[in-house]
Amino acid sequence: METHLSGNTVENKKIILKCYTNGTPLETDLELKVGEVLKLEVPKGSNGVLVKNLYLSCDPYMRGRMQDFQASYIPPFSPGSAIEGFGVSEVVDSDDPNFKRGEFVAGITNWEEYTLIHKTGQLRKIQQDDVIPLSYHVGLLGMPGFTAYAGFYEVCAPKKGEYVYVSAASGAVGQLVGQLAKLHGCYVVGSAGTSQKVELLKNKLGFDEAFNYKEELDLEAALARYFPQGIDIYFDNVGGGMLDAALGNMRVQGRVAVCGMVSQNSRTSVQSFKNMFSLISKRITIKGFLQSDFSHLYPRFLEEITSNYKQGKIVYLENMNDGLESAPAAFVGLFSGKNVGKQVIRVASK
């Protein structure tokens, strides 16, 4: 719970990065701290908005920002400061005429109770909706959902009847990829790391088949079993050995969309491949992508996915943890697959 001090000031609790790290993030890399006392007013002339953060999104890409590597597509976090990420927030005070107190916004915010946001151009105003939870704006209707949408339609170039494989299939991105592929008339198999997730894939998310990759000694053989005709599209969220196994099972003119490499411990992990020759013999395309390159499609995505969701054609699984103090464990859990569905932290209730 937030601590209100005298008048309209708060102790602004936050999650800071303690120091740069390599490898898989640990809970101890992050720390809950009581911030400086914050007055709940936007300084006049700042053009900023002060928001109360309601939901924060845990996303695997954030691991990259915990490393001291400047040359990436996104700069690293600053040790000692609150980390940032996608969130859903309520406007508490505004010096930007586009935003009013009481409105809800989705966008980049800090992992803290209240944030003074100066870059208001990146905020998207959202409406409360009886059907769509506010938190979905960092999941189904946020970056992960858009990643699934842009990656599947634009990068994979799917055709009806094609064979689609999705790894990390119950995650924030994978669960939507599989459902879009089904709506597109594809045959879809997903993999995940627990039997509970496998059940959800088959019984709740509508995948044709699903398997627990941790129970397979030979991933390439497993994929051959699930795809006797081979794979047309592999939506890769994990990289490494799973990518290699898929390469060994691709069909001619197959496409691999490389969305994430959550299996890799660090940016420069050495990965071994024995099926690279398939690239030539099967004329495979491997394409890495970032959703931000497709932002012109965002309005269409929002409209289509909202409509599909409201018609009951799409479902979305969320893993909601309560309280900022739960954030370090929730975030770190992404990398061991603790989350079932999109991992969100509820910082405050609306």
Which residues touch 268 (CB under 8 Å, ≥6 apart)?
none
Between the alpha carbon of residue 68 and those of residues 64, 78, 86, 169, the distances in Å are: 9, 9, 21, 30
Q: Which of residues 56-75 bind a second copy (CB under 8 A)?
A: 64, 72-73
Which residues touch 321 (CB under 8 Å, ≥6 apart)?
327, 329, 330, 343, 344, 345, 346
Q: Which is nearer to a second copy, 133 or 151 (CB)?
A: 151
146 membership: H or E segment, kind and range: helix 143-150
Query: Cα 204–210–213 angle (5° rounding)?
Result: 130
Q: Which is nearer to a second copy, 273 or 298 (CB)?
A: 273
Residue count at the site for a second copy (CB under 8 A)?
A: 36
Is residue 100 close enough to count as binding a second copy by CB under 8 A? Answer: no
Is residue 153 close enough to count as binding a second copy by CB under 8 A? Answer: no
Q: From the CB of 260, what's the least distance to a second copy, in Å?
A: 7
Is residue 275 close enough to count as binding a second copy by CB under 8 A? Answer: yes
Q: Which is nearer to a second copy, 210 or 262 (CB)?
A: 262
Among 52, 63, 282, 342, binds a second copy (CB under 8 A): 282
CB of 163 within 8 A of CB of 231? yes
* DSSP calls for 206-218: --SEEEEGGG-S-
Could you give the string, one character per residue 211-250, with x where binding to a second copy holds by CB under 8 A and - elsewhere? ----------------------------x---x-------
Is residue 272 close enough to count as binding a second copy by CB under 8 A? Answer: yes
Q: Which is nearer to a second copy, 91 or 233 (CB)?
A: 233
User: What is the DSSP-derived secondary structure letter of residue 252?
Assistant: E
Is residue 270 close enough to count as binding a second copy by CB under 8 A? Answer: yes
CA-CA-CA-CA torsion sign (190, 194, 195, 196): negative
Interface stretch with a second copy, choices 130-138, 210-218, 285-293, 328-336 (CB under 8 A): 285-293
Distance of CA 257 to the CA centre of its chain: 16
Interface stretch with a second copy, choices 50-58, 90-98, 181-189, 274-282 (CB under 8 A): 274-282
Distance of CA 62 to the CA centre of its chain: 9
CB atoms within 10 A of CB 280: 8
User: What is the DSSP-derived secondary structure letter of residue 59?
Assistant: -
Interface stretch with a second copy, choices 42-50, 175-183, 271-279, 338-346 (CB under 8 A): 271-279
Which of 20, 17, 16, 18 is CA-nearest to residue 33?
16
CB of 40 within 8 A of CB of 11? no
Is residue 290 close enough to count as binding a second copy by CB under 8 A? Answer: yes
Q: From the CB of 148, what's the least distance to a second copy, in Å?
A: 15
Is residue 81 close enough to count as binding a second copy by CB under 8 A? Answer: no
Q: Which is nearer to a second copy, 171 or 328 (CB)?
A: 171
Tokens found for residue 91 = 């406007």
143 membership: H or E segment, kind and range: helix 143-150
Q: Strand 342-346 vs strand 49-57: parallel, antiparallel, or unpaired?
A: antiparallel
Interface stretch with a second copy, choices 16-24, 49-57, 77-85, 269-277 (CB under 8 A): 269-277
Is residue 295 close enough to count as binding a second copy by CB under 8 A? Answer: no
Is residue 335 close enough to count as binding a second copy by CB under 8 A? Answer: no
Task: Give the span between the Cα atoms of 174 and 342, in whole angstroms.
Answer: 10
Q: From the CB of 332, what's the least distance to a second copy, in Å?
A: 20
Is residue 274 close enough to count as binding a second copy by CB under 8 A? Answer: yes
Residue type, 321: N
Q: Which is nearer to a second copy, 8 or 295 (CB)?
A: 295
What residues make contact with a second copy under the rule CB under 8 A?
Answer: 64, 72-73, 239, 243, 252, 258-261, 264, 267-290, 293
